[in-house]
Amino acid sequence: MTNINRRDFLKLIGAGSVGTGAGVLYGEVTKQTVELLIPQVIPPEDYSPGIATWYNTTCGQCSAGCGISVRTREGRAKKIEGNPVHPVNQGRLCSMGQAGLNALYNPDRIRRPLKRNAPGGSFTPISWDEALTTLGRRLGNLKIQGKGNQVTLLSDGVRGHLDKLFATFMQELGSDNYLQYDFAFPNALYKANKILFDIDTLPYYDIKNTNYVLSFGADYLGTWLSPVHYSLAYGHLRQGRGKRRGKCVQIEPRMSLTGANADEWIPAKPGTEGLLAMAIANVIISDDHYRGSDIDDWASAVGSYSPSAVSGQTDITESEIKRIANDFIRHRPALAIAGDNIASGTNAVSNILAINALNYLAGNLNKEGGVIFNKKPSLVQSTQQRHASYIDMMGLRDAMSTGQVDTLIVHNTNPVFNLPNSSRFKEALTKVPYKVSLSSFMDETTDLVDLVLPLNTYLESWGDDIPEPGVGFTTATVLQPVVTPIYDTRSSGDIILTLAHQIGGELPVALPWTNMEDYLKAGWKEIYSGQIANSAFNSFDQFWRKALESGVWGENKTCVPDRKNKTKQVQLNNITIAPEFSGDEKDFPFTLLPYISQTFFDGKGANLPWLQELPDPMTSIVYNSWIELNPATAKKLGIKEGDLINVQSKEGSLQAPAFIFPAIRPDVIAIPIGQGHTQYGRYAKNRGVNPINILESIVDDASNALAWSSTRVKISKTGKHIDLVKTSGVTRTLGRQIFDKPGKHS
C-alpha cells in the first residue's frame, strides 16, 4: 500500500467515527448506576450506622428457654447467638435457635389481620380496630350473658407473665377453659417424677459431672428437654475433666443422635425398656449393692424380674443385662434417664418409674453427677399443670363437637397438625361457631379459623421466661423486642390487654395496663420489691436496666440442690410394665416409631428454609420425609433406597420413600415428625409426610398422654421411586485416613 485514495480515506474516517460513538455509548452504558445516599430524617438513639448493636433476649423456638444475643445492624436482626451469661446455654445455641431469623423475616408471615368472609370462604384483610372490636364485642356479650365459660383459650406452652396474663384474662371472663398444648411436652416424665419424688418441676440431670449416663431413649443431645445445656454437659463429660472421661450408654430401638455419640448402643425391643430397668434393679438388689432400710420392699417389687426372666422379652442377653447393671453401679455417680420414644408408649409412666428407681437404688439422688431436684421457681410461676394431656384434648374435642365451646382462641399452637387423624379433632374444631387464631403463620389450624390475628415473633415482643428444666437455682430471663415489628402485627400480650379494655366491665380493672411492656414492668416491680430489693440495686429502674442489658436475672449461685430426699414409698409394685400396641403382630409386623425431628422439632421448624436445608444429622437427608428400614428388612422385602413405601396402620396409611438405615431394629420402622404440612408457607407446604396422622388414639393411662410410639404398621412397596436428596454419598471410610493418624489404618 503506497497511498490511500479519497474513497478509502472516507471509509476509514467513517469507521473511526462509528468506533468513537460506540465508545462513548459504551462508557455511558457501563457507568455505575447512580446510588443514592439516603440520610436518616431523625437519627436513631439506639444504634450508629456501620456498627453492630447486640440485644439480649430469650429464645422462643422450643421450651428449653435459652438466652440469646441478637446482633442487629441499622435496625435489622442479622445473627442470633447464645447469651454467654445465661446459665442454660452459656453462649451456645442449636440450629433451631439460630434459624429464628428465618421466622422473623419469613416471606410467608401473616402481615395483617384476616377475616373469613363466609364459612368455607376465603380470607379478607381487615384493620386491627375492626378485628379487635368484633372479637371484643363477642367475648363481652358472652360474659354479660354469663356464658364466659364457653370461651376456650388453647395456647402453646407459654410461661411467665404472658401465662399469668392469659390466666387473669380468662378468669375475669368467667372461663375455666385455659389450656396449653405442645406435642413434645413430656407429660409422662412429669407424672412419674410426681409419683416417685413428689416434685412438680423437672429435676436437674447433672450429665456434666456424672460418670455414666444410662439413657433409655432420651435424645438429650438432639431433642430432649434442653439439648444445648446437655450438649455442653456432654462435652465436659467427655473431655472436660482430665482422665475421668464419662461413659454414655443408650438403649433405644432406633439410633438417635445421642445413640450415635454413645459408647454403647443397645437396641432393646420397643416398649420393654422398663422391663430392662427392672432387671437392672433386680441385679443391683441381688448383688447386694443397695443397703437401704426398705430393701425388702424393693426386693419383693423387682424380685420377679431377674435377668434370665427378662432377657427373652427385651431381646438382650442375660450377661449383657448383668454387665450394664454392674457398670451402672461401678461408675457411680451415674445417671439413668428416660425420654422420647421410651416415654411415649402405653407404659410410659411405668417405664420412667422403673428407670427413675435405678437412680434411687444406686444412690444417685441429690448428688453431684446424679439427679438434683430443682427448687420451685420463686420468681415467676411456671405452670405445668395447664398443659393439656391427650385426654384433656379429647375433652376439648367433645366439648367442641357438642356445642359447649362458642369461641375458641388458639394461640401459637397447631393441634390440627400435631394430633392424629383418629382423634377427630379437626372435625370437632370446624363445629365451633367462632374460632380465632393468634399466630405468625398460616398453619393447618389457623387455616380453619374465622379470624386471624397476626402475632409478632418472639424477636419483636416483650415477655419473660424461666427455663424448664431449671439449672438448680432461681433464674429468669426477660424478652425484649430486638427489632421494630416489620409488619402490621402485634404481640399476644398487647392483643389480650386491648381486648380487656374493649370488653370492659371488671376486665380493665383487673388489667389496667394498655401494653405488655407496662404489664411486664409492673409485674417485675412487684417481684423486685418482694424478693430482690435490698440486694445490689438502688432502685427498680436500675434493676430493670440491668436485667434488660444482661437478658437474664438469677441468684448468682452455683447449683445448690434441695437436699431433702424425696422418694416416697416403693412405687413399683402395681405397675403395668408390659407395653401394649395398636394392631396385632401378625397383621401389622412392624412397630412404627415416629420421632421428633432434630431439624423441625414437632413440625414447628418446617417453614424455616435454613432448617429445610440442614441435612438431618443421622441420614443427611434434606427437604423430605423418609422411612427408616433395617438393611435386613429391606433386603427381605426387596426394598431399595428411594422406593416409595406404603405404610398402613389401623387408622390410615401414608407413602414416603425408604431409607436403608443401618441402626434400627429389623422389626421397627421410623419416620421423623415435622414434615407433611398441608399449609404453613412455601418452604413447608406439601413436603413429605406427617406420621402423627396414622397413629391410633391410644394413651398411657397413668399420664393420659398420647402413646405415640405404640402403633403397629405393615408396609408394602408401591413400585414408584423417589430420589432422596441427601448430602452424604459414601458412608464408609473405605480405609481412607479420616479418623486416624496416618499409618494407623491399612
Q: Which of 53, 54, 85, 95 binds another protein (CB under 8 A)?
A: 95
Of positions 19, 292, 403, 504, contacts another protein by CB under 8 A: 19
Amino acid at 441: F
From the list 58, 106, 193, 341, which residue makes contact with another protein (rule: CB under 8 A)?
Answer: 106
How many CA atoms, within 13 angstroms, populate the side-chain half-sphere of residue 514? 0
Binding-residue total with another protein (CB under 8 A): 118
Interaction between residue 81 and another protein (CB under 8 A): yes
Q: Interface with another protein includes 118 (CB under 8 A)?
A: no
- What's the min distance (Å) between Cβ of 72 and another protein? 11
Of 64, 70, 99, 114, the one binding another protein (CB under 8 A) is: 99
Q: Which is nearer to another protein, 174 or 615 (CB)?
A: 615
Task: Give DSSP secondary structure letters for 567-598.
Answer: --S---TT---S---BS-TTT--EEEEEEEBT
Q: Rule CB under 8 A: say whether 326 interacts with another protein.
A: no
Cell of 719: 413400585
- CB 426, min distance to another protein, A: 28
According to CB under 8 A, which residues from 619 to 648 bind another protein?
Answer: 620, 622-624, 630-632
Residues 636 and 246: their CA atoms lie apart, in Å, by: 39
In terms of C-beta density within 10 A (0-12 exposed, 13-18 middle, 19 or more buried), how is residue 167 classed?
A: middle
Q: Which of residues 148-167 bind another protein (CB under 8 A)?
A: none
Instruction: Choose the stretch contacting another protein; rule: CB under 8 A; options: 33-41, 116-124, 445-453, 542-550.
Output: 33-41
Among 128, 473, 540, 610, binds another protein (CB under 8 A): 610
* Contact range with another protein by CB under 8 A, out of 81-89, 126-134, 304-312, 510-518: 81-89
CB 240 within 8 A of CB 101: no
Yes or no: say if 651 and 421 are a contact pair by the CB < 8 Å rule: yes
32 contacts another protein (rule: CB under 8 A): yes
Strands 123-125 and 151-155, bridge-based pairing = unpaired
Residue 173, SS3 per DSSP: helix
- Taking the complex as a whole, the smallest distance from the CB of residue 605 to another protein amounts, in Å, to 11
Report CA torsion sign: 526, 529, 530, 536. Answer: positive
One-letter amino acid at 283 equals V
Decide: is 54 part of the binding site for another protein (CB under 8 A): no
Q: Is 133 helix (H, G, I), strand (E, B) or coil?
A: helix
Q: Which of residues 433-492 bind another protein (CB under 8 A)?
A: 486
- Scanning 181-189, 393-401, 616-624, 708-716 for contacts with another protein by CB under 8 A, the matching segment is 616-624
Measured N-to-C along each axis, helices 160-173 and 516-527 cross at an angle, to the nearest 10 degrees, of 110
Q: Is 16 in the site for another protein (CB under 8 A)?
A: yes
**312 forms part of the interface with another protein (CB under 8 A):** no
Determine which residue in the list 136, 186, 222, 307 makes contact with another protein, applying CB under 8 A: 222
Instruction: List residues bridging with 53 in a β-sheet.
Output: 72
Q: Which helix (H) or strand (E) holds 712?
A: strand 711-721
Assess 746 for contact with another protein (CB under 8 A): no
Out of 98, 439, 597, 710, the residue judged to bind another protein by CB under 8 A? 98
What is the CB neighbour count within 10 angstroms for residue 509? 10
Least distance from C-beta 611 to another protein, angstroms? 8
Q: What gap in Å lies between CA 716 and CA 355, rounded to an integer?
A: 36
Strands 653-660 and 643-648, how do they pair?
Answer: antiparallel
Contact flag: residue 289 with another protein (CB under 8 A): no
Other residues' Cβ atoms within 10 Å of the Cβ of residue 566: 17
What does the alpha-carbon distance between residue 292 and residue 277 come to, in Å, rounded to a whole number? Answer: 19
> Which of 291/732 has CB closer to another protein?
732
Does 663 engage in binding with another protein (CB under 8 A)?
yes
Cα 294 from Cα 572, distance rounded (Å) = 13
Instruction: Based on the shown chain and the rule CB under 8 A, indicate whether residue 738 belongs to the binding site for another protein.
Output: yes
Q: Does residue 679 contact residue 444 with C-beta atoms inside 8 Å?
A: yes
Q: Please identify, using beta-carbon distances, which residue of 486 and 644 lies nearer to another protein.
A: 486
Options 56, 59, 63, 92; binder of another protein; rule CB under 8 A: 92
Q: Identify which of residues 37 and 118 has a Cβ nearer to another protein in the complex.
A: 37
Of residues 337-376, those binding another protein (CB under 8 A): none
Of residues 331 and 397, the one with the C-beta less far from another protein = 331
Contact between 221 and another protein per CB under 8 A = yes
Interface with another protein includes 243 (CB under 8 A)? no
The DSSP 8-state label assigned to residue 455 in this structure reads B
Q: Which residues pair with 435 in a beta bridge?
A: 408
Which of 95-103, 183-191, 342-350, 521-529 is the region at the interface with another protein (rule: CB under 8 A)? 95-103
CB 709 within 8 A of CB 605: no
Cα–Cα distance, 96 to 228 (Å, whole number): 11
For another protein, the closer of residues 50 and 119 by Cβ is 50
Q: Which of residues 679-718 bind another protein (CB under 8 A)?
A: 682
Task: Check if the beta carbon of residue 73 is closer than 8 Å to that of residue 574.
Answer: no
Q: In terms of Cα–Cα distance, which of 389, 371, 299 is closest to 567?
A: 371
Binding flag, residue 244, another protein (CB under 8 A): no
- Binding region for another protein (CB under 8 A) out of 22-30, 175-183, 271-279, 369-377: 22-30
Question: Least Å distance between CB 334 and another protein?
Answer: 14
Measure the CA–CA gap between 646 and 669, rounded to whole angstroms: 12
11 scored as a contact of another protein (CB under 8 A): yes
Q: Does 228 bind another protein (CB under 8 A)?
A: yes
